[in-house]
Chain A
Amino acid sequence: MKQSQKPKQRKETIKSWLFFAASLAFTIVLLVIFPNRQTAVIKSSWQIFMEMFWILPAVMLLIGFFAVWVPKEMIVRLMGKTSGIRGIGLSLLLGSLPTGPLYVAFPMAAALIKKGARVSNMIIFLSAWACIKIPQEMVELQFLGARFMALRLGLTIIFVIIMGVFIERAVESKATEKGKK
């Protein structure tokens, strides 16, 4: 198993670097054609780079601790197949903690799935992370009003749970088909 994974992983890494190189080359060409955009592009890139630079190493470290210290049975029990409504609630709650941008949540969700959390709960977790942030809702309340906020939030939660179940079905039916082959 490990032997077949290694070259595949290396290929993936090379592909990622090629993607990056291509996009960088494309950007450089664009900036040569439109030199007046240079400062804006470089400034935006630098901002997002610094943002990620300050967050991601800490996130990776936390994922490392998670992998080593948190027992698998606990995640299976709390967020796995049989976790039911409590699993959904916990996923919503975990997602809504004020903990940074969505890209932080992708590796976390991946780690949780590896430890036995259900896919539907992770979709709910990701969506909650994306749009149910407590400080974010304060700003929405202030700028768009209570009715707008409450309605949007309520609808989002309902639809996200449905989406989670649907995606889980779609992913897992394919997986079992593959298993049969």
Chain B
Amino acid sequence: MNLAPVFINIFAIGCLFLSFVKDRRKTKQAVKIAVKSFIKIIPTILLIVVLVGLLLGFVPHVVISKFMGNQSGIDGIFLSALLGAILYIPSIVAFPLAASFLKAGASITAVAIFITTLTMIGFVTLPLEVKELGKKIALLRNGISLLLAILIGVIIGTIL
């Protein structure tokens, strides 16, 4: 199991306790802000839940491996950038997967691009990003990250 949620919950409860001891009114205000912002993002969260289910349910990892395994060249670059941008895979799973692509014959460039777009670009979490940061920042960040990923991949491919 991932430790992050355990850590973050303990931390939040610790803060709640500290805040309550220090100032009850401020604590109440903080909880109110928390509840309000949580209610606001519920529909977006549910949307992400459905999108992730669709994606992973219809495009399992085995299919991705077969698809990307022996991609190289220009089409491999775009395919891996696109796959990384659309897919939602926890990074701990992503690296072994990327290593298996390498073994199956994918180029280093394609793998570097895949990892970079996978971590930096979140197609399924885009609704939440737009909601929190606005359309402009979200679209610019994802779009530029896509270009950067390709650039990073090509540089790594030439050096290594």
User: B-facing mask of A131-163, CB < 8 A → 1, else 0?
Assistant: 101011001101110011001100110011001
Contact A131-B119, Cβ < 8 Å, known A68-B33, A110-B132: yes
Bin the interface of chain B by size: 35 or more
Does B64 interact with chain A (Cβ within 8 Å)? no
**Inter-chain contact A148/B34, CB cutoff 8 Å:** no
Docked complex Cα distance between A173 and B155 (Å) = 31
Does A52 interact with chain B (Cβ within 8 Å)? yes
Docked complex Cα distance between A150 and B102 (Å) = 18
**Inter-chain contact B156/A140, CB cutoff 8 Å:** no
**Inter-chain contact A65/B47, CB cutoff 8 Å:** no
- Chain A's closest residue to B51 (CB) is A23
**Inter-chain contact B90/A163, CB cutoff 8 Å:** no
**Inter-chain contact A123/B34, CB cutoff 8 Å:** no
**Inter-chain contact A151/B57, CB cutoff 8 Å:** no
**Inter-chain contact A63/B33, CB cutoff 8 Å:** yes
Contact A55-B41, Cβ < 8 Å, known A123-B141, A156-B116, A167-B144: no
**Inter-chain contact A62/B12, CB cutoff 8 Å:** yes
Contacts of B156 in A (CB 8 A): 148, 151-152, 155
Binds B, one of A38-46, A71-79, A83-91: A38-46
Docked complex Cα distance between A27 and B53 (Å) = 9
Which residues of chain B (111-147) have a CB below 8 Å from chain A? 111-112, 115-116, 119-120, 122, 125, 127-129, 131-133, 136-137, 140-141, 144-145
Does B52 interact with chain A (Cβ within 8 Å)? yes
**Inter-chain contact A45/B151, CB cutoff 8 Å:** no
Contacts of A45 in B (CB 8 A): 49-50, 52-53, 57
Contact A65-B19, Cβ < 8 Å, known A139-B95, A151-B156, A159-B151: yes
Contacts of B7 in A (CB 8 A): 98-99
**Inter-chain contact A62/B11, CB cutoff 8 Å:** yes
**Inter-chain contact A148/B5, CB cutoff 8 Å:** no
Bin the interface of chain A by size: 35 or more
Contacts of A171 in B (CB 8 A): 136-137, 140
From the candidates A12, A62, A144, name the one contacting B98 in the complex (CB within 8 A): A144
From the candidates B13, B46, B125, B151, name the one contacting A103 in the complex (CB within 8 A): B125
**Inter-chain contact A16/B47, CB cutoff 8 Å:** yes
Contacts of A12 in B (CB 8 A): 131
Docked complex Cα distance between A148 and B96 (Å) = 14
**Inter-chain contact B50/A163, CB cutoff 8 Å:** no
- 21 A-B residue contacts at CB 8 Å? A37-B58, A42-B57, A44-B52, A45-B50, A45-B53, A51-B2, A67-B33, A68-B27, A69-B19, A98-B7, A99-B4, A103-B125, A127-B141, A131-B119, A133-B91, A136-B95, A144-B95, A144-B111, A155-B151, A155-B156, A170-B136
* Given A55-B8, A136-B92, 16 additional A-B pairs, CB 8 A: A9-B40, A12-B131, A24-B50, A40-B56, A58-B11, A69-B30, A101-B4, A107-B37, A122-B133, A123-B137, A131-B115, A131-B120, A142-B95, A152-B156, A155-B155, A163-B145
